[in-house]
Every structure is written in structure tokens, then in C-alpha cells.
A and B are shown apart, each in its own frame.
Chain A
């Protein structure tokens, strides 16, 4: 090759021609480099080789090399021109250090182009080994700089002492810039590609997991869930092997049965019916590859089934034409759930990233199985509970009839004698007969209340609404306790506000509640005290209060007193109560869509009050979700809680509708199809669990997010049954708003 440097010293016209020629060549070189860049982005070699070739040629050098910085040394990356092979091999073994012993080192240190006109004349030149292998005399090196950092060096040399001129240096520097850009682009493209591959892997993985999550979240049966898990695992494996046909692999989940200590194929993918049949027939125990994998809690791969001793399980798989197997343990809190087995038609190691991916996947899947099992158990339990509850109701109904008949005889005959129908009684006889009669009445009342309560709890208490006068109902009930009150010198007063007229409700149940409060008041008021009844309107509610001058209820008993068989410490009662009256009354008031409360001061007395809507509960006004305002249904039987939650949501861009029992809630939700439901669990008529189950079973309502708000923390059960969030009462405003945000109702 001729060196342009020497021709540059020729006459002017020739020099001009030369320049034009150079410029042309340079342009061509640039184009080619750019073309190489565009064409071979993935292969830096091609681009850099192009750069080097032109560098050598246009600079009139014998050879050109590209060194790339690797840690502290420069390694030879590419060569062009006449470069002896042994020189290249020698350089591989003895890279150039980053010091002043070479032009490469100097160019890197100074971050600029460095020339040694004659290495033999340079006392500081320290790589005679290289000089001897190539015979170079003049060396020119320029750094490749990316973001202020030297990443490599391009060198050209001549075997005679003929320094490169300014133009050649400029050219080499130009090539270095292009080389650096090429390197940079190649680097970027590579990073991008790696990232792209990672992303697409990640996307596939996430999609698979999402699908599994969906399967688990739906009410599919366990087999279907497992099948989806396996098919997704197989898909991921296929992707891991770069196989996009998705046709070659198969797999199954072998679920562990703790009782028999064996594994059973549950979900399968890409398996022939014959293989399935055989898998079901063979005993897969702890001694198989599957068992060992689970016990060790370690993935176990067999890259070539033909090369190993096969157990019963592996033999089956092998006979079916599979050549490699990967087993991934599925454990949950150290409990073996099962093993995920992936089979391949071909032999070969499973790549580490595939194994890693499947491990993540298997642990998710284990959770899925545990959840599905939990769900299944819950379903069975709910069914059992339902049956048990039905049996209980039937038992109570028949028991109450069987007990009532003889009780009626006890009460009736003692009454016959007390009425002196068969003659006079002495004092003792009269006293004992009164005891018999009282005990009989007491038992009967208890019986009736138990029956009523069981009706309420079974959701079978039907309210019969009719319109009646509130003051007449008060008078009627007062008449029933007046005699007892006057015999204890208890003064009774009634105050009915003028605007309390009639109410539409179940009259008999209304009187039952009132009678309970009145007889309690009389019972716990000392002789000479007073009991006053007030009735007034408050917005759309009727409020009735019964105030006594009794001993009062200590604060610690004020909640408990509404629970079954809790009479609280209200001092000596004049007669025994059933302990069910208040519980039943509160539940009945709940059925009315109202609430009951107690204000009491020890030593001063108590006020029991209840409020019920003047219009009957049970008629549901279905809100129109107009203007795109989302509707949120609050289901809550306790009026105070309902008011509080409504207040929390005041000012939020949502429309709130409410229901106070389960049946009403279902009607409302099915009609309104709200954006979300906030559900109390302890509900009259139909309980909250049942509401949740029915919503999740309904095609229209299954997708409505449900936020459970309950005093009982059964989060797991709630979430397993499909609730989107579970709040434990008391619920704060933030909790409620957060939960609504989490289901996308509030932003």
C-alpha cells in the first residue's frame, strides 16, 4: 500500500487532486461505516472492522488495531491491515498496560493522539516484544472516548520511520470518534436488546402468573386451576428454551397427599390420556425423583432420562417418549404441597434462568393450591354449617312444640287450683302453686324467645307490616305491666309527642319490644320509683325511650347486656328474667331497620331507647347511577355505624345507598349494580357471608368489588370467598377511603 503522506509533498495540482480523492474516499468510508452500523447493529465486530480497515487504508498505515479497555489493561479487539497472527495471539496473552510504556497507554493517559516517530529511538518505549513481532517503527495511537472516559485506543503503524502527518492524525481521530460512536451504539443496542428480552420474558412470566391468579381467584375447581398452572409453566419453559411453537413440552402437578404419603397427578398439560391413566395407576412415593425433590426442597433436573436409572415414575415418562425432566418442589410454610414436573421431548440441561423462573412460579402455584384448598374447605364447611343450622332450626321448632304442650298443662292446672276451682288452699299450698305457675310462665317465655331468636338468626322471622297508632300500642303495652308496677308503687308516665301519629311496622313485634323494655324497667326499679315512656319523631325515625329510676347498668356491662343470657349487674331483680329479651328486642329492632341503645348511670337509672324508620324497612330505593357518579352500597344493620360510614363518605364524588339487612342488600345490589359494596357480616335475615357468596356466584354481581367491614377478623375467609378488602371495625375514615381507592372507586 502506498502512503498518502509521501504524496502530499508533491506539486500543488496533484495535491488538490489528492485531497479530492481523499475526501471521496473518506466519504465512502463514512458511508460504509454508517451502512455497517445500520446493517449490523448487533455485531460490533463488523462495524469496528470496517472502521479499522478504512483507518489503515486512509492513513497510509501498514496495519491498524483496536484495543478495548478491560479493567486496567487494553486488550486487542480487532485488527486490520498486515497484522501477523502471532502478534495478535501474543497480545491476547500480554495485553497492554495503562502506562506510559506504549503509545496505547500514553494516548489513554493523555486522552489525546500520541505518536512515536521511531520506537527504536524512544528510550521510554517499553514493549520491545511487540516491536520484534511486527517490526513497526512509527506508531500513532488515538483514544476512543465515551462520556469523557477512555474506552479503547486505535493504533496504526508503519514499518519504516515515517511519521503520520497532521491530516492523517486528524483522519485517525475522526475514525476514533466514529468507532466510539459505533461502540456506544452497539452497547446501547445490546443493552436495549437484553432489556427487551428480559422484558418480554418478564411480560410472559407476569401474564402467566396473572392467568394463574385469575384462575385461583375465580370459583373454578381445583383441577382446572392446576391445569392452568401447568400449562403456563410449560409455556414459560418453552419460552426459556426459545421455543415459540409451544408444542414440544408437557407437564403436570403432582399433588401430595399427606395421609397416604404419595403424589397424585392433578393438573396436566401436553399429556396423553394413556400417560395420565398410567400416572394414576402407579404409586409415586417419597423414593421417586418427585419425592426426593419435595423432601430436599430443591429443583431436580434430569437432562437425559436414557442415561439414568429410572424409578417407576420416570420409567413411565420415559416410555411415553419424554427425554428430560425437571421437578420443582411446591412448598408452603415447610409443608409439601406438591411437585411441578416439566417434561421435554428433547434432552439437555434446563437453563438456570428457566429453573429460577419456574421456582418463583411454583411458589405462587403452591399458594394457589393452598388457597383453592382453603376455598374448597370453606365451601364444605359453609354447606355443613348451613345444614347444621337448618337442623338446629328444625330441632328448636319441634322442641318448642314438644315442651310447650306439657308446660301448658303445668301452667293450666296450677291456675285451676289457684283459682280455687276445687276449693280453698292453705298459705303454703297457695305459695307453692304460685311458684309452679311462675316457673311455668318463665319457662314458656324462655321457650318463645329462644324460638324467636332462632327464627331471627335463621333469617326466618317475617315481619308483617300494618299501620297502627303508636300511642295505642304504648297504652296497650303499658296496661300489661301497670298492675305489677302499681303493686310496687312504681309511677308510670307516658309522653307521646303530638307529631307521632301512626307507623307502618309489625305491630305485634313492636309491642313485644316495648313490653320487654317496660317489664325490664319495672323489674329493676325499686319500690316507689318511676318509669317513664317517651315517643317522638326524629327526622324520618320514630324514637321510643323507656327511662327508669333503677340501679343502672355499669359501663362495662352496657354492651354485654344485649348479648344472650347476660342480664348484667342491675341489682336484685324482683323476678328472674330470661336473659334473652334484650337480645331478641335488639334483633327485632334491627329487622325494623332501626337500632337500640342504652344510656345508664349507676345509682340513677337507665334509659333504653330504640329508633325505627316511620316507613317500613324492606322497601329498597334503587339509586340511579346517573351522571357517571359511582354508586357505593353500604350494608350495615347498626344504624350508628351506617350513619358514621355515610358521614365518612360525605363530600366524596360517589352516591351512597344503604341496606340494613342481607335480603335488602342483595335486592339493592342486584338492582343498582354499584361500583362497590361495603358489607357488614352480622346481618339480619340473610347474613353477610351469604350475601358475599351470592354476589360472587351471580354473573352480574361477581365483578362488583366487596369491602367487608366486620368486628370479627376473619380476613382469610373473607378474601378467600372473594372479598377485595377486609376492614376490622371500628373502621376509620382513612381505612374506608383507602379501601374504596384500592378497588378503584375513589381516586
Chain B
């Protein structure tokens, strides 16, 4: 399946890596380098899935996610946190903040396409 995926990531190398892997998997990638940029382009991009880095300069990932949810995304578009915090407490925090899921950094090139497919086929938010 092919999906439109909004990737919010401030580090250009990481952004490039995620983009390449997802594009090879057949997805269309829209890039945003900051939370602010994500908010600007979200409506036009109309993504099926958002991958959100948590540590962003300026507006952080959690806040960006909350703002996106206020009408800039379709109601059933999942927003998944991408973070280097791998501890249980971090996963808990991410879930409590309202993300639909969590992908740990460093991302596994082999596993990323499958993870993304998983979120896309869950049929939207709520059961992640």
C-alpha cells in the first residue's frame, strides 16, 4: 500500500534516512523540519500518518501533535512519536501525551516499513 506520510524531524540526516527508507517502501513522504513548519503544511499535505520527533527546536513534538489534532489532521490520522528515550517510563509518557504509538531511535531500516504498515492498517487512532 502507498500512503502519504508527514515526517517531522529537525536533523537533516535522520530525515533523509527515514524519507529514503519510506520512499523505497513505496510511500510518499512530506518533510517538516520543525513543529511550526509541520503546522503550516499539515492541511495541504493531508497525511495518512505522522511520524513526529519528540525533541524539536522551538515547539516540541508533543505540543505540535496537540496543535495538529486541533483540526489540522483528519480525525483518524495516527501520530506516532519517534524518540531516543527507550525507557518504559518514556513509552508511558508518550502514550499519556496522546500519541498513537512510539518508534524507538535508532530506527531499524529493516523494521520501519513494517511498523509503518502496522499503524496504517490499524484503521486509524484509538487502538494503538
Report A's interface with B, CB cutoff 8 A: 401, 404-409, 411-413, 415-416, 419, 421, 444, 462, 464, 466, 506-508
Of B14, B24, B55, which is within 8 A of A412 by CB? Answer: B14
B56-87: CB near A (< 8 Å → 1, else 0) gives 00000000000000000000000000001001
Whether B21 and A421, one on each chain, are in contact in the complex, defined by CB atoms closer than 8 angstroms, is yes
Cα distance A462–B93 when bound, in Å?
15
Report B's interface with A, CB cutoff 8 A: 11, 13-14, 17, 20-21, 24, 55, 84, 87-89, 105-110
Which of A404, A415, A419 is the most central at the interface, judged by chain B CB atoms within 10 Å of its CB? Answer: A415
CB distance from A325 to the nearest CB of B (A): 69
Nearest B residue to A400 by beta-carbon distance?
A: B84
Nearest A residue to B23 by beta-carbon distance?
A: A421
Contacts of A411 in B (CB 8 A): 106
Contacts of A508 in B (CB 8 A): 87-88
Whether A415 and B110, one on each chain, are in contact in the complex, defined by CB atoms closer than 8 angstroms, is yes
Taking A401-B55, A421-B20, A421-B21 as contacts, is the C-beta distance between A412 and B87 under 8 angstroms?
no
Taking A409-B13, A412-B14, A419-B110 as contacts, is the C-beta distance between A507 and B55 under 8 angstroms?
no
Main secondary structure of the interface of A (DSSP, over half): helix
CB distance from B57 to the nearest CB of A (A): 13
Give 6 A-B pairs besides A401-B84, A415-B108, A419-B110 with Cβ atoms closer than 8 angstroms: A416-B21, A416-B109, A444-B106, A464-B87, A464-B89, A506-B88
Contacts of A464 in B (CB 8 A): 87-89
Cα distance A407–B2 when bound, in Å?
29
Nearest B residue to A452 by beta-carbon distance?
A: B87
Taking A407-B106, A408-B105 as contacts, is the C-beta distance between A413 and B17 under 8 angstroms?
yes
Nearest B residue to A508 by beta-carbon distance?
A: B88
Taking A401-B55, A507-B88 as contacts, is the C-beta distance between A412 and B110 under 8 angstroms?
no
Whether A412 and B11, one on each chain, are in contact in the complex, defined by CB atoms closer than 8 angstroms, is no
Cα distance A506–B21 when bound, in Å?
34
Cα distance A409–B109 when bound, in Å?
11
Whether B21 and A404, one on each chain, are in contact in the complex, defined by CB atoms closer than 8 angstroms, is no
CB distance from B13 to the nearest CB of A (A): 4
Cα distance A509–B107 when bound, in Å?
21
Contacts of A401 in B (CB 8 A): 55, 84
Contacts of B107 in A (CB 8 A): 408, 412
7 A-B Cβ contacts within 8 A?
A404-B106, A408-B13, A408-B84, A408-B106, A413-B13, A413-B17, A415-B108
Whether A404 and B20, one on each chain, are in contact in the complex, defined by CB atoms closer than 8 angstroms, is no
CB distance from B27 to the nearest CB of A (A): 13
Contacts of B84 in A (CB 8 A): 401, 404, 408
Taking A405-B11, A408-B14 as contacts, is the C-beta distance between A415 and B109 under 8 angstroms?
yes
Cα distance A419–B114 when bound, in Å?
14
Whether B109 and A412, one on each chain, are in contact in the complex, defined by CB atoms closer than 8 angstroms, is yes
Whether B89 and A405, one on each chain, are in contact in the complex, defined by CB atoms closer than 8 angstroms, is no
Contacts of B11 in A (CB 8 A): 405, 409
Nearest A residue to B89 by beta-carbon distance?
A: A464
